Amino acid sequence: MDALRSPGGLAAVVVAVVIVVVLVRVMKKGGGVDKRIADLSKRGKYGEAARLSVDEGNLGQAFDLYLRAQEPENAAAVAVRRGDLRQAAELYERATNWERAAHFYERAGMEPKADELRRTRLRLAPGAGTAKAVALAPESRARILESEYRQAAAISDPSEAARGELQRKARDAADALLADGEIGRAAELYADAGFDDEAIHLFVNVLGQPGRAAPLLARKGNHQRAAELYELAGELERAATAWVDVARKSPRPESFVERIAGLSPAVAMTYLDHETKARPLSPQTAEWHYQHANLLAKAGELDRAEVLYEEIMAQVGAYRDVAARMQSLRIEVNQHRPATPRAKTVPAAGAAAPTSFPGLDPQQLEQIASQVAEAAAQQLRRRVELSQLPAPGATPSAVIKTAVLVVGLEQTPVQRGLLADSAVEAARYGPTDETLRRFTGNRPCDLGNIEVYYRLGLFYLAQGNYDNALEMFDAVEETSPAYRDAWRRAEEIQAWKLALGKRSRLAENDAAPGQQRYELRGELGRGGMAVVYRAVDNLLGRDVALKFLSEEISTQPGVRELFQREARAVAGLNHPNIVTIHDTGFLQGRAFICMEFVDGQSVESLMAEPTGITIVESMRIIKQVLDALEYAHERQIVHRDIKPANIMRTSSGLVKLMDFGLAKSLAEGKKQSVIAGTPAYMPPEQLSGDDIDARCDLFSVSVSLYEMLTSELPYEGFDRHKAPPPLSELVPAVPTVLEEIVMRGLAIRRDDRWASAAEMNGHLKKLLDAVTSFVSARAAGAAQQQAKAKTEMM
């Protein structure tokens, strides 16, 4: 009571009472509408209940109620708002509204059905358009409601009550327009009344006019989505301008420059001219000037580009691939201006490389340098669009069997045809999940981005992440039942999980009591002797790869001791280019190895990409493989199964040699163990079961490098007697020195091969150094000539 006597206390009580009253009214209002809809439905007044549901925005409930009310035309109007044009057409046909039925059949892409209705029901000539079939009278109810809304909007006051009444009129008019098939007018009316979400849905998903939706998204503050819609509509100048707005509000605006330039070089040039003037060249602003130079080079302004590249080299140093781009630029300049003094001096700048490494052909080195520059430029220009994603069913490798009976830890056999078919294999080489998610627009799955969600499901299948794949396919199925084969893929994932049963969670000897250490998430691959699962180590909280040897091998006499002895020796290897082995032993009666999970691509998959692998890339990859082998061979470990599929490269360029868990330790003697390799990459002594040593791996490395350079294997089947074709016959750009390195590694007699990984790697390093020196010398020569030219101009 004392609190009520003070002004402050009394005010606090009044405010509390007002808040309670408002909350009660809101709750009563919401609850009242739902109760009224339920009461109307119980009394059979489905039409009235449906109209209330429409007012509340519950279109799914309204659609069902209109069907129960036997009002197919109103149900059809709701179907149009939901984007299901085929269902709308069927309902209009059911209501004998032939004009609108034909109109929406045509909009749904069912022109033969639309023509059939016009011919049989409307007596129109075949091919007559919707404009002839639908003739709306000026005095139609929809037009009257639209006119009433426009008049009310012109004189409406800004009060909340007036705004609510105006929006009610707009929704009634728009719904009537939709029922009449005037979707464009309805969308415009929604936009005018502030129903942006409804207007955007109609423009994008029904009318297929994303450009008209873009300004509405910008009005809502979603500038990035607006830019994407302009891009989708083909309005490239507006899209580029919108991306500039997005960039200016981003903490890393320079990351958008490449995309802007791809849409409109003119907009990008204007943007970069302004930004580089405001940001003098420094290590912190080098990316701006680097992108500016790239755009100038692409626009044909070679001199300006060259000056900028030189300034970056002088003030920042070897930034990104500036040296390679300068080399490529010089080659282009020479091709167009062969008579200039600069062209005469450039060959001399790189002439020292062959002298330091006899046998190198300067012309071949120039080809390699150009190839490197072009590959880098392609990588920088590459921007994946949804329309460019690989089509499901297309695969860059051989056709994969669609019905493979699994032989892993499954308790019952299952078919995994859609878990590893050609579409999944293609997803291994396609866009990343980050790229795909960008195309979802950060929205849940809907009719506008359903294909992207489907592709995400394929990507996760390829990555062995079945939980995420199942989530994507379930979202697709919920949005559009029977879309592609999403439901079948989801069923196969569920069948795989069911077949594993309790084996999807595995206890391990050093796990805490009662704890299941490993949880299987999917498959990364399988062969005739092993299956690799993607898993989570719950004890240490990390992603791992679990490799289980086949049951046949695991149960062979003495294999347990042999396997553990060799695995212990390999587990001691600690090298950045060797996949780490965390654990080994037996689970579920099967020999297993727990390995580091590598997030990258195998060289096999890189070779399958359209751009392939350049000569220098191949050398850099094999150099790292030889680094790993040099370390392993010093510790008496021979890999025995080196091939492109067992070489992984991460996004940062680090190479990891896989499957060391199946290697052979020479420290325990030379008795051949039960584990074999892959015949196409084996030397003769391994194929015949003779004793092996480290030179076995060098043969396999050489086969792999031969395949990386030529896309062909050097030997057919098991035949090792016929010498393979020289690499230069298949790829003339391969230097003679590199050819000699590879061909010596492919020698049939072990004594004719390289004596060690270190020896072979030493020659490869010299060749790489020579290529690098050649490129640097060319760049330096170009820089000197440019400086000289600038001095003369002064």
Which residues are annotated as catalytic? Answer: 641
DSSP SS3 for 530:
strand
Q: Backbone phi, then psi, for 659, in 5-degree steps?
A: 60, 30
The owner of tokens 């430029």 is: 377
Q: Up-side HSE of residue 519: CA atoms within 13 Å toward CB?
A: 14
Q: Which residues of 284-309 are buried (b: 16+ CB within 10 A; e: fewer)?
A: ebbbbbbbbbbbbbeeeebeebbbbb
Supply 759's token pair. 């020896």
First to last CA, the chain: 93
Alpha-carbon distance of 578 to 572, in angstroms, equals 11
Contact 250, 256 (CB under 8 A): yes
Contact 237, 230 (CB under 8 A): no
* Residue 700 to residues 130, 188, 259, 625, 628, Cα–Cα distance (Å): 67, 66, 42, 11, 14
DSSP SS3 for 547:
strand
- Nearest one of 749, 600, 591 to 661, comparing CA atoms: 591
Supply 93's token pair. 């046909």
Secondary structure in 3-state letters for 248-292: HCCCCHHHHHHHHHHHCHHHHHHHHHHHHHHCCCCCCCHHHHHHH
DSSP SS3 for 580:
coil
Q: Length of the chain in residues, anyone? A: 794
Alpha-carbon distance of 618 to 614, in angstroms, equals 6
Q: Which residues contact 685 (CB under 8 A, 6 or more apart)?
A: 691, 692, 696, 750
DSSP 538: T
The 10 Å Cβ neighbour count of residue 407 is 13
Q: Which residues pair with 581 in a beta bridge?
A: 595
DSSP for 550-566, written as a single string? -HHHHTSTTHHHHHHHH
Contact 617, 375 (CB under 8 A): yes
Alpha-carbon distance of 78 to 389, in angstroms, equals 33
The 10 Å Cβ neighbour count of residue 665 is 18
DSSP SS3 for 369:
helix
DSSP for 688-731, written as a single string? TT----THHHHHHHHHHHHHHHHSS-SS-TT--SSPPPPHHHH-
Contact 284, 256 (CB under 8 A): no
Alpha-carbon distance of 42 to 148, in angstroms, equals 34
Task: Name the H helices within 316-421.
Answer: 322-336, 341-349, 352-356, 362-381
Contact 136, 180 (CB under 8 A): yes
Supply 524's token pair. 């990364």
